[in-house]
Structure 1
């Protein structure tokens, strides 16, 4: 039996704990991690301000957890916003700890802060990371003995995170060029393929890779038409479009951001939207397509990846509405690749009202109450035990209660195993390595390992445990491996208990929030498509652009709902039952959005809605009403 088959035969919560993300080693993140926390700690020691080096290294460590592969503009937001929240939490904790460190009011203040941060975390991934850093830094600021006042700690923490961001900006990742895709014939603008170096330093490497992946996903979806793989390939196309949209819609990093290269990438992304629409309609039809149909998108993917003209593109037969839409989309893409002009695409933007609605919704309320109880209760228990490192307990509880890291039982198990492994490993290293040079080396090595360890929560916990214990020891405190194990196991018990308590708010609120958003987006997309039927001609450019934006939002919210449902399904049965039936709703919504896309292609082609499609829409709407 293969490891994957063995994992599938286990209970969902245990199988999830054994699952590991796969992929190439992010070597450039590894290099940045090695140059972040360790050198900062060393600089603080050389300057005679060890505590400053420890705080800066903490900022770099937490920033390193958020340093994932992707475009630079996304990295700035993904690292910088949580770092700002962490700096605020560190200052808050320092002042609260100084004024109410041993008073009963401290757990109450922590609970209120946890309620706010937990509810805000429901807004999105960056908000979730920000809420986590806010609470972890608040616990550290309140309990870690440091001579600097709160505002200085916040500045040094920000300096550590800023150092990692600077490394992310000045050390661009070399991106592989000339990685030919299937069907590449080497045809350039003059019939030959331009010579390219094996690697190039490209400050748009993340954006270029994301857009190229969209065209590859379109080609894979066309290849899968008429097979059982079409559903998973359509989901992969949605994920690729989401990543490209995020990569291109982040903050601009250069003064003259409207460069020709950026404008070209924006145009290439926009040109992929009608291609994705046509490919989805063809996959929905369920009829196999000739192999050459996917060759055009693959040539476009190679052109984006190598930053060269796309050259001649093979035209599919125009024997049906879907193939005609694909041919038109390929012609449009060829023109866009040549002209390189387009308005920058923007993803769905949330205003203050949307943020407040998400935080105050069922998912925000449920998670906020859960975090408040865990954070406040762990602080109260830690203070009652009079442990010198009492702040470890609430900080650990914050990570354990975080649903982004997996189902509750899975993350508790991984956290316990990772902490035991890391603590035992550090105890051995502390006994063998010279001080403080050996501990600084441990911090640097752990910083380099974090980007790889993030693939599994237990591995990440082990690496972070070693790094934190090394920082504590460099700061002048005694070796604390066994205390770290005890605090973690106690936090695991608190989070497990709170996670299974009867709730004053709706269970499964996170799933219901995501499903409600997906339903609203799907219905808005359907209404827009139907509004163009019966006009007797193809839709105008503005109507199609609005339709593509609505289609993107519909598939994006569906992907978020599906992720929340999969996570809930892997919980223990007492928790998983609260999301029963959500899988059927999501599946019906996916079929509805796919059918709507097929309708849009036919409306563009004939100006009317075919009877078969109308009947299918009616059946799906009735099914959605029945399962809701």
Structure 2
């Protein structure tokens, strides 16, 4: 029988066709419908269409950053870019009014250099850099009667309105509990589910993917709980309970990673305990008896202890549980079988644990919880190194060149909407937003589709009420459209063109298409030009940061320190840095071959670092249990360190720290 004909698509095309999956975020859809549209309607009824355009623009850009997560995380994720956009409006407006074309282009280019370098820090900084540059171009080119400070004020009002909706409106299905913490609750429950999936996949081919999924869940929960009010003295019992439940998941995740590293399949009941804990987090109900795994190896003994500690944590934080509480007259082992429905243990396993106050597992979790989960402290020096480092310099240079070139070309063409060209270039050139060619293809396709759809609606809709309704519908579609860049571009194009017409300018669908295609051409050309220094700076900087984090984690484990909270924090940082490096490598690999070749071999370095951190985790668990490492652990660590040196050399990376190699 002949084989079916199939063609392997190149990575840059595969990425362009890829879309995110998942349920429709109906709560975000409702917020989108209530954001830009009502603000614009209120301004139209008041006869101040121009301020409505600014407020709706702020709400639209805030809606793009309105992603799933906790409410307090959303304040930071939406608010910081909103402030940056307001600053961009002020700078752009006054520069556009007082400067000629050449000095204005130089100012915008310098702004692009700074915003691009800052964007290398992380997602929130990248969003702030994007809004800063987009708003600066709009302020310099959009003819509105208000001065710069008023434009910025109404832009901020639009972003603040969406933040208010995010804080006030409950998520559907979350009214049974304190709905303010629904995002945190879901994030912590997902961690326990990811632990269960990793335990179920141990010994199989999916173990590596499940460990990566656990890292993503822990990162998401850590961010969700790191809001401004989650500090040492929490403001409610719900906050304290969620923080303690997250801290209790850290030793479980550590034990599950060690068991997956061992490579042995586990009984199905091993994953049942974390699954019941996940349900308890979501529902607020007691977790009930938790099945205890056989305590035959160090990893299973660590998992058993972590399950017992988690059950006690849920018991202390719950309203009422189905099992006895721990009191001062009983040791933890006295209640262990009652708590988890375990079979009787051997005399060795039945030895009493130390009390809750001195047990290292409990003490480490308490320290982690009481520190407010500030596992990634704000470090000015580290931030400055990122901005001025290799990744920040390359990022800033690329953004500044594309932004400045597009602003110069646009002003030379003397087009009434010249600000569209540099604003479009910003969305295309940002390396952290996706591969360059993928974004260019999707941007072009989405703009053409959106412009054609708007032209059809503009021909039949009444004005301005029909355009306001179109803005509200587009705002509601943004949370769904963000799953694919072409879809997002189409929806945003419709919304922006509607705003332009409400502001009193003529219909501009065809000029929008032309200027977008011109911006795509500029970005493609500039993006593939040779630059000073070594290319792939962002990937290399991420890998160096991951290597440093792995070094700190390994050094702490081998030192024999008994600080569990510090070890878990270092482990979290190592896996987070690895995830960031892996994401940057995957984006670089989806570029055209002329750019992708600059990061060849970096995926092997990341894979070796992941195995090194996994082995370090397994070593930590074994050291806790026996106080010494087996030859398997030491030989594996030595082999991985040797491989790391060779692979970094082949990839053109600097040698790892000398003390890492001597560890």
The alignment's TM-score, normalised by the length of structure 1, stands at: 0.93
Q: Give the C-alpha shift of residue 255 in structure 1.
A: 13
Match of 1:213 in 2: 190
The reply to whether residue 600 of structure 1 matches residue 620 of structure 2 is: yes
Contact 1:67/1:79 (CA < 8 Å) preserved in 2?
A: yes
The CA distance in 2 between the partners of 1:610 and 1:350, in whole Å, is 38
Q: Give the C-alpha shift of residue 175 in structure 1.
A: 3.8
Contact 1:211/1:269 (CA < 8 Å) preserved in 2?
A: yes
Contact 2:497/2:508 (CA < 8 Å) preserved in 1?
A: yes
The CA distance in 2 between the partners of 1:253 and 1:43, in whole Å, is 36
**Deviations 1:118-144 (CA, angstroms, capped at 9, x unpaired):** 000001100000000000000000000
The reply to whether residue 410 of structure 1 matches residue 408 of structure 2 is: no
The CA distance in 2 between the partners of 1:11 and 1:211, in whole Å, is 37
With over 3 angstroms needed to count, the CA separation of the structure-2 counterparts of 1:387 and 1:112, relative to structure 1, is: same
The reply to whether residue 9 of structure 1 matches residue 12 of structure 2 is: no
The CA distance in 2 between the partners of 1:159 and 1:245, in whole Å, is 29
Match of 2:341 in 1: none
Q: Give the C-alpha shift of residue 350 in structure 1.
A: 2.7
Match of 1:549 in 2: 569
Match of 1:145 in 2: 143
Match of 1:161 in 2: 159
The CA distance in 1 between the partners of 2:231 and 2:462, in whole Å, is 44
Q: Give the C-alpha shift of residue 339 in structure 1.
A: 2.1
**Deviations 1:356-381 (CA, angstroms, capped at 9, x unpaired):** 11001111100100011111110100
Match of 1:365 in 2: 393
The CA distance in 1 between the partners of 2:491 and 2:536, in whole Å, is 32
Contact 2:501/2:507 (CA < 8 Å) preserved in 1?
A: yes
Match of 2:279 in 1: 302
Match of 1:59 in 2: 58
Match of 2:108 in 1: 110
Contact 1:83/1:158 (CA < 8 Å) preserved in 2?
A: yes
Match of 1:587 in 2: 607
The CA distance in 2 between the partners of 1:416 and 1:175, in whole Å, is 39
Contact 1:85/1:131 (CA < 8 Å) preserved in 2?
A: yes
Contact 1:40/1:53 (CA < 8 Å) preserved in 2?
A: yes
Match of 1:311 among 288, 306, 314: 288
Match of 2:381 among 353, 359, 363: 353
Match of 2:172 among 165, 171, 174: 174
Match of 1:432 among 460, 475, 491: 460
Contact 1:172/1:201 (CA < 8 Å) preserved in 2?
A: no
The runs of at least 4 consecutive aligned structure 1 residues that moved more than 6 Å come to: 253-256
Q: Give the C-alpha shift of residue 257 in structure 1.
A: 4.4
Structure 2 runs not aligned, ≥5 long? 318-365, 649-663
The reply to whether residue 399 of structure 1 matches residue 427 of structure 2 is: yes
Match of 2:91 in 1: 92
Q: Give the C-alpha shift of residue 404 in structure 1.
A: 2.7
Contact 1:173/1:201 (CA < 8 Å) preserved in 2?
A: no
Contact 2:178/2:238 (CA < 8 Å) preserved in 1?
A: no
Partner of 1:387, secondary structure, is coil
The reply to whether residue 529 of structure 1 matches residue 528 of structure 2 is: no
With over 3 angstroms needed to count, the CA separation of the structure-2 counterparts of 1:425 and 1:363, relative to structure 1, is: same
Q: Give the C-alpha shift of residue 254 in structure 1.
A: 11
Q: Give the C-alpha shift of residue 544 in structure 1.
A: 1.4
Contact 1:174/1:200 (CA < 8 Å) preserved in 2?
A: no
Q: Give the C-alpha shift of residue 506 in structure 1.
A: 2.1
The reply to whether residue 462 of structure 1 matches residue 490 of structure 2 is: yes
Q: Which moved more, 1:567-576 or 1:502-511?
A: 502-511
Q: Give the C-alpha shift of residue 347 in structure 1.
A: 2.8
Q: Give the C-alpha shift of residue 201 in structure 1.
A: 6.1
Q: Give the C-alpha shift of residue 103 in structure 1.
A: 2.6
Match of 1:128 in 2: 126
The CA distance in 2 between the partners of 1:136 and 1:175, in whole Å, is 37
Match of 2:504 among 476, 488, 506: 476
The CA distance in 2 between the partners of 1:157 and 1:406, in whole Å, is 27
Match of 1:39 in 2: 38
Match of 1:420 in 2: 448
The CA distance in 2 between the partners of 1:290 and 1:257, in whole Å, is 39
Match of 2:248 among 261, 265, 271: 271
The CA distance in 1 between the partners of 2:181 and 2:628, in whole Å, is 42
Contact 1:393/1:491 (CA < 8 Å) preserved in 2?
A: yes
Q: Give the C-alpha shift of residue 611 in structure 1.
A: 1.5
The reply to whether residue 445 of structure 1 matches residue 473 of structure 2 is: yes
Contact 1:174/1:201 (CA < 8 Å) preserved in 2?
A: no
Structure 1 runs not aligned, ≥5 long? 177-196, 533-538
The alignment's TM-score, normalised by the length of structure 2, stands at: 0.88
**Deviations 1:388-410 (CA, angstroms, capped at 9, x unpaired):** 00000000000000123311110
Instruction: Report the aligned-residue RMSD.
Output: 1.5
Contact 1:86/1:133 (CA < 8 Å) preserved in 2?
A: yes
Contact 1:365/1:505 (CA < 8 Å) preserved in 2?
A: no
**Deviations 1:221-252 (CA, angstroms, capped at 9, x unpaired):** 00001000000000000000000000001222
Q: Which moved more, 1:342-351 or 1:153-162?
A: 342-351
Contact 1:405/1:457 (CA < 8 Å) preserved in 2?
A: no
Contact 1:33/1:447 (CA < 8 Å) preserved in 2?
A: yes
Partner of 1:298, secondary structure, is helix
Match of 1:291 in 2: 268
Contact 1:175/1:201 (CA < 8 Å) preserved in 2?
A: no
Contact 2:230/2:239 (CA < 8 Å) preserved in 1?
A: no
The CA distance in 1 between the partners of 2:8 and 2:307, in whole Å, is 44
Partner of 1:53, secondary structure, is helix
Contact 1:82/1:130 (CA < 8 Å) preserved in 2?
A: yes
Partner of 1:262, secondary structure, is helix
